[in-house]
Amino acid sequence: MPAALSLLQQRHSVPSRQLGEPAPDEATLQMLLEAAIRVPDHGKLVPFRLIRLEGTAKLRFGERLAAIAIRNSPEMSEAKQEKERLRYTFAPLVMVVVARLHADSKVPEIEQKLCAGNVAYNILLGAHALGYGGQWLTGWAAYDREAAAILGLAEHEHVVGFVHLGTPQIEVPDRDRPALADLLGTWTP
């Protein structure tokens, strides 16, 4: 099997809690991200951007999100509050992939969002190819406008995902995958 297809066959997510140091160093991250942004882009709109969360910024971001969550659900248990605070602290690096939607474009918004989603997936694939692990997560914060404001997003920008990156700390078993025969059909006129 060609190496590129073997890479696709072996790719899997590593839970963010199981991602530790090291994350890609600066030169490796630059190389990874330059490759990740090479996505199909109808209209050459570049409908995406990236935000890096690392170090203490991950905890500060989680604390601000926890404050929103607690305000919205004052009955939230202490355990859930702590989970909200620490959600972004496990992996050494979190890349926020942002869709930048161009409402005035003839390119449908769904295509623009898919373009940004391809960036997130390319980060996962590239990280795997380089020997790192990753997990693409969303959660409520990806869809919350107050969370978007914390990140400095404009009204036309939306979080596509939080891609957690680091070195796998455990061997992650692959999950069951669907059978291609159950998914593939052939259209005939």
**pLDDT tens digits for 19-72?**
999 999 999 999 999 999 999 999 999 999 999 999 999 999 999 999 999 999
State both tokens at 130.
Answer: 């380089």
pLDDT at 54: 97
Which residue is associated with the tokens 């914060």?
141
pTM across the whole model: 0.96
47: β partners: none
Cα–Cα dist 127/97, whole Å: 15
Q: Let me know: does 136 contact 120? Beta carbons within 8 Å.
A: yes
pLDDT of 1 reads 86
Name the helix (H) or strand (E) containing 20.
strand 19-20
Q: Where are the domains of the chain?
A: 19-170
Q: Which residues of the chain have pLDDT under 70?
A: none
Residue 31 host element (H or E):
helix 26-36
Give the CATH number of domain 19-170. 3.40.109.10
